[in-house]
Amino acid sequence: MTKLCVLGMGYIGLPTALLFANNGIEVVGVDVNEKVVSTLQQGKMHFEENGFQELLDSAMEKESFRASAKVEEADVFLVAVPTPFDTEFRMADLKYVISACEMVVPHLKKGNLVIIESTIPPKTCEKRVRKILELSGLKASQDFYISHCPERAIPGNTLHEMVNNDRVIGGLDKKATELTRDLYSSFVKGNLYLTTSTTAEMIKLMENTYRDVNIALANELSMLAEDYGINIWEAIEIANKHPRVNIHKPGPGVGGHCIAIDPWFLTENANNSSLITLARNINDSMPIHVLKKVKEMVNGIECPVITVFGVAYKGDIADTRATPALKFIKLAEKEGFTIKIYDPFVKEFEYPILSLEEAVEGSDCIVVLTDHSMFRNIPREEFFGKMRNRNVVDTRNVISKSIIHPYI
């Protein structure tokens, strides 16, 4: 039986480890956070996502998964640690990837395969990862193998996408690519596309940059549409009937740990990247634009109270990482506005989360920042509750027109 050691028991590393463990691989899940390790050792998840607990239960039952604070000898090492964004230099911060690779070095043996799933700038496997692992005295592509297999699953539907999405596998050499393909074939039902490590690194960043640039375009079009006094949502819907047009959705900006960050990993080495940079700046500035609209709505009201609907970075999830709502709230506070928040999914946030009733009581404007589907079904009386002034700014087009008409 192949033995796999997964470094990083987070949103990606843990479900990946559990999928392997449920498909004939012996897995050790390693994390530097002792609390995470002890929670997993007790058979419990340290965060919530659909289907994860069941997968953990079944792997524990099969005795094919165990959590540990220490890396140990294995046939394959899989690195799935975060790659934070270095805000000062606008580049990828590889500290966790580097330290995970350093932890593998003392255990590396001939014939081992090391897979990096973490998102990394092009050439990282070839230059950085290889150099660290060769400190073991072994030679890459001769004694051991390195590949990149970027994750592509969307938060909120992780398990389904991990199993069913096509994947990209890029090795430093052909053998690394083939060994990685054979391993992932154990649970991936989608196609496995084989390429080089640098191409795989580039593909992952291109995918998220494509989305970011397209969202920026949608945001720019929505601001133009406001100037022309037209409904951008209707315009996009009709434009997208064209067989070769797919305009994305405008909104209050881009959040999450991927799309708002990954484009910078591409531009860190480029001289000629003005489009990607411009798109990032447009998306980052959207909370300022939303605040401008709110200010117009509450103009003339003394000490306005603003109710934020949704602080998750996107609909139907509890994740608030890099949410554009936070920037909006901070800017609105600077304006002297009182902020009340309603989010039926989010339990932990920098600001208190209120019930719907409390959040709308005394409010002068509801601003919808997240497209939670349940926002569509709130009855009109509960939606407005005891608001002081019935103003609504819906940045996501989620509130039914029959509710907010004729207020916007």
Q: Is 131 known to be catalytic?
A: no
CA distance linking residue 86 with residue 92, whole number of Å: 6
Query: SS3 for 297?
Result: helix
Q: Segment contacting ligand SAJ (CB under 6 A): 51-59, 169-177, 204-212, 300-308?
A: 204-212
What mask, x for binding ligand SAJ by CB under 6 A, covers residues 363 to 402? Answer: ----------------------------------------
Element (H, E) at 339: strand 338-342
List 8, 29, 155, 385, residue binding ligand SAJ (CB under 6 A): 155
Our finding on whether 248 is near ligand SAJ (CB under 6 A) is yes
> Is position 211 an interface residue for ligand SAJ (rule: CB under 6 A)?
yes
> Of 5, 101, 149, 258, which is the active-site residue?
258
Backbone angles phi, psi at 333, to 5 degrees: -65, -40
CB distance 349 to 320 below 8 Å: yes
The span of 14-22, 146-154, 176-184, 231-239 binding ligand SAJ (CB under 6 A) equals 146-154
Tokens 């494509």 belong to 210
Smallest distance, ligand SAJ to C-beta of residue 158, A: 9
* Residue 75 touching ligand SAJ (CB under 6 A): no
15 lies in the site for ligand SAJ, by CB under 6 A: no
CA distances from 1 to 50, 361, 364 (A): 28, 61, 63
**Do residues 357 and 333 make contact, with C-beta atoms less than 8 angstroms apart?**
no
DSSP for 115-134, written as a single string: EE-S---TTIIIIIIHHHHG
154 lies in the site for ligand SAJ, by CB under 6 A: yes
**Catalytic-role residue among 204, 314, 327, 340:** 204
Q: What would you report as the CA-atom Rg of the chain, rounded to the nearest whole angstrom? A: 24
Using the rule CB under 6 A, which residue among 254, 276, 325, 346 binds ligand SAJ? 254
CA–CA separation, 93 and 193 (whole Å)? 27
Strand 91-92 and strand 85-86: the pairing is antiparallel
# chain residues binding ligand SAJ, by CB under 6 A: 19
Q: Least distance from C-beta 219 to ligand SAJ, angstroms?
A: 8
Within 351-370, the residues that bind ligand SAJ by CB under 6 A are none
Looking at beta carbons only, is 251 or 263 nearer to ligand SAJ?
A: 251
110 is catalytic: no
Give the count of alpha carbons within 13 A of 39, CB side only.
15
User: Is there a contact between 146 and 172 (Cβ–Cβ < 8 Å)?
Assistant: yes
Q: Does 16 bind ligand SAJ (CB under 6 A)?
A: no
Q: Which residues bind ligand SAJ (CB under 6 A)?
A: 151-155, 207-208, 211, 215, 248-249, 251, 254-256, 258-259, 313-314
Residues involved in catalysis = 204, 258
